[in-house]
Amino acid sequence: MDDCDLETMMRFAERLADAARAETLPRWRTGCAAADKNEGGAWDPVTEADREAERAMRRLIEAEFPDHGIQGEEFPEKKGKGRWSWSLDPVDGTRAFVCGLPSWTTLIALLDEGQPVLGVIDAAPLDERYVGPGGDRKTSGCTTLAEARLSTTDPYLFSAAETQAWDRVRQRVRTTRYGLDAYGYARVAAGSLDLVIEAGLKPHDYNALIPVVCAAGGAIGNWEGGEDFSGGRVIAAATPGLYRAALEAMRS
């Protein structure tokens, strides 16, 4: 595949999402008192779901596209032989998973020379799937902070300076919600949230979000107004105007 047939690749990405669901869903809400990653020995359904879902997706990619690179959360990077690679986060929102909450997702992105050109946010427990390009999602069209529904996963993850910027936006919006991980970006694409502001994201956290938000007409960029996400600071907005309004509020 030198020319990217994105429709074919989207069908394949959805097969990856299906394969991940088969590994994650049966392990969710089992062993509710199970241990987290940092405790040795105990049975750990989230780590098992993470690893087995990533393994299942890697197997499919290696069988179908052996030259493609793979960057996953759980295993070492596989270097590819061309421009294409996959970014995989089998369980985004492991804390939600561990807490029996239905907001965790599986994130899949296809990268062309490192740039995400296709994304899937698969909200398996809710049986909702968000894709880009394509799909029929549309953002709310919201352009002002006063009307915006804002979200971040955990306000305690911000540094002191980031907290100041965050607070300047939070104090001007209509309402704020927490705890959503990538599902917040999915709901921006679906038009029921308007703005997500986060820091500390890794490539497997943000790669899939970009095509999904863009396909729905939203804007996604970093905290400086650019498109380099390697600093992990991401803003997704229903419109470019709302993105600019958030940037301005954060600076002032």
| Inter-residue contact 123 to 177 (CB < 8 Å) | no
Among 8, 115, 164, 175, binds its own copies (CB under 8 A): 175
Residue type, 84: W
Closest CA to 241 of 174, 119, 144: 144
| Inter-residue contact 128 to 143 (CB < 8 Å) | no
Minimal distance in Å, beta carbon 74 to its own copies? 19
Q: Give the number of other Cβ atoms within 10 Å of residue 208's Cβ.
A: 33
Among 26, 66, 114, 141, binds its own copies (CB under 8 A): 141
Reported residue count of the chain is 252
Q: Does the footprint of its own copies cover residue 193 (CB under 8 A)?
A: yes
* Closer residue to its own copies (CB): 47 or 207: 47
Among 83, 95, 202, 244, binds its own copies (CB under 8 A): 95
**Which stretch in 3-11, 30-38, 80-88, 196-204 sits in contact with its own copies by CB under 8 A?**
30-38
**Which stretch in 2-10, 17-25, 134-142, 204-212 sits in contact with its own copies by CB under 8 A?**
134-142
Q: Does the footprint of its own copies cover residue 190 (CB under 8 A)?
A: yes
| Inter-residue contact 80 to 68 (CB < 8 Å) | yes
Alpha carbons 71 and 205: distance in angstroms, whole number = 11
| Inter-residue contact 1 to 112 (CB < 8 Å) | no
| Cα–chain center distance at 177 | 17
**Which stretch in 63-71, 147-155, 219-227, 229-237 sits in contact with its own copies by CB under 8 A?**
147-155
Minimal distance in Å, beta carbon 84 to its own copies? 34
* Closer residue to its own copies (CB): 106 or 153: 153
**Which stretch in 9-17, 53-61, 151-159, 239-247 sits in contact with its own copies by CB under 8 A?**
151-159
Contacts of 167 (CB under 8 A, 6+ apart): none
Q: Does the footprint of its own copies cover residue 40 (CB under 8 A)?
A: no
| Inter-residue contact 85 to 103 (CB < 8 Å) | no
| Structural tokens at position 241 | 């105007």
Count, residues near its own copies per rule CB under 8 A: 35
Q: Which residues bind its own copies (CB under 8 A)?
A: 29, 32-33, 36, 95-96, 98-103, 126, 140-142, 147, 149, 151, 154-156, 170, 174-180, 187, 190-193
